[in-house]
Amino acid sequence: MEFDTITAISTPMGEGAIAIVRISGDHAIEIADRIFQGPSEKKLSQAHSHTIHYGHLIQPKTGEVVEEVMVSIMKGPKTFTREDVVEINCHGGIVSVNRVLQLVLSQGARLAEPGEFTKRAFLNGRIDLSQAEAVMDLIRAKTDKAMNVALGQMEGRLSKLIRKLRQEILETLAQVEVNIDYPEYDDVEEMTHRLFLEKGSYVKKEIEKLLRTSQQGKILRDGLSTVIIGRPNVGKSSLLNSLVQENKAIVTDVAGTTRDIIEEYVNVRGVPLKLVDTAGIRETEDIVERIGVERSRAVLKEADLILLVLNYSEELTPEDEKLFEAVAGMDVIVIVNKTDLPRKIDLNRVYEIAGRHKVVTTSLLEEQGVDELEEAIAALFFAGSLEAGDLTYVSNARHIALLGQALQSIEDALEAIEMGTPVDLVQIDFTKAWEQLGEIIGESVQDNLINQLFSQFCLGK
């Protein structure tokens, strides 16, 4: 498979010590040779692979020096894309890196599309589709645990399991075909319903095991949408600032200070939270505050976790009780804040209304109770099971959906067997499961899906 030569800036735009312009393709080294001038007259094409060279980039026609650079030469197939790859390390200013990029483009390279380097690694057989998607998960990882999950997927942990299951299905289907095509061969093991049940039950069990990790895996990948709610001036913004460890939200004694939604990512005991501080939910005549309250009610519907804040120094109000009603059936942690002030709230009533939900008392002003709150968040979603390093976590929504479809196909096949359906009809569902699992690793996937997936990558990756 032949591709044209592509290039892109592979480091974030902005000021920094260095920036990298990456080139990949059959003419990558040839292009670099035309614009690079080193201390010796030796060409980059004559250099050993995986070496780095100091020199200057020049305009070929005028000899004008464009940049002082270090150029890495990596010859295929032992590269990320399995093509010849050149990486030009230049100064990290916006002007300098753009000048380098424009110089490379002027020599015949094409600007890469988002994710095109990783797409070529996939198309050239360097990685499969699930490993390619893990590259983006690794870049976007917000906690160490999320990064470890992405690393495991990049190394092919999920791919190996999927390939093993597909092989089990394929061997079963092959035996069916043999018995259908050559029924007169007595020495060929006869495919019975019992064997179909045995293989189908095994595949079903393994898929279910993967799907059990999907909730935690998805949390690690996407983060928990965590909404902080409560009446005005109970300490919602103080809680946000305490968890983020920055003064992201304005904190005053004036009720209704927070008028809009404030979002911030934070790592709590390895759990990535997308914290949303809402306007205090109450009836108000203030038009701006009322808009904020309506937005607060709207975000509740999409929340994975609710942090419901109450005031230790005030009696429980009907508005507080309405908040409990609004989050019924959701994962909620109740926080009774301001324990540094005299108690007026009826804690027995709080525990009664909270029911199964965890109740934590805090004084955010004096930084008390935050550790207990963080432990409660981690325990609610992971309950310690995340520490099992040998588990393969499924975190990608596409993978989870395909695993669910494959499981349904296997269950349909097992149900058909129980009903005594002929094995040549049962194999249709087995074949469907085999194809659905193949879509996870890109063995049976359409071009438009591949293009869509890689278009979500950042430029230069």
Q: The domain at 135-213+394-454 falls in which architecture? A: Up-down Bundle (1.20)
The CATH fold assigned to 220-386 is: Rossmann fold (3.40.50)
Distance CA 28, CA 109 (A): 8
The per-residue pLDDT for range 126-142, each reduced to its tens digit, is: 888 888 888 877 777 77
Q: What is the pLDDT of residue 412?
A: 93
Q: Going along 84-154, which residue ranges are E strands?
A: 85-91, 110-111
Check residues 288 and 22 and name the one with the higher pLDDT.
Answer: 22
Q: What is the pLDDT of residue 446?
A: 63
Ordered by start, the domain boundaries in the chain are 6-112, 135-213+394-454, 220-386
Q: Give Cβ neighbours of residue 431 (< 8 Å, ≥ 6 apart).
A: 173
**Is-contact 12 458, C-beta < 8 A?**
no
Which residue from 358, 319, 337 is spatially nearest to 231, judged by alpha carbons?
Answer: 319
The mean pLDDT of the chain is 81
**Is-contact 73 32, C-beta < 8 A?**
yes
Which residue from 175, 272, 176, 211 is spatially nearest to 440, judged by alpha carbons?
Answer: 211
The per-residue pLDDT for range 145-194, each reduced to its tens digit, is: 777 777 887 888 888 999 999 999 988 888 777 666 665 555 444 556 77
Q: What percent of the chain has pLDDT over 70?
A: 81
Q: What is the pLDDT of residue 133?
A: 82
Q: What is the pLDDT of residue 259?
A: 36
Does 433 have pLDDT greater than 60?
Answer: yes
pLDDT band at 2 (very low <50, low <70, confident <90, very high): low
Distance CA 239, CA 245 (A): 9
Q: What is the pLDDT of residue 171?
A: 85
Q: Work out the angle at residue 372's Cα, subtended by the Cα atoms of residues 212 and 253, and round it to the nearest 5 degrees.
A: 120
- CATH annotation of 6-112: 3.30.1360.120
Report which DSSP code applies to 233. T
State if pTM tops 0.85.
Answer: no
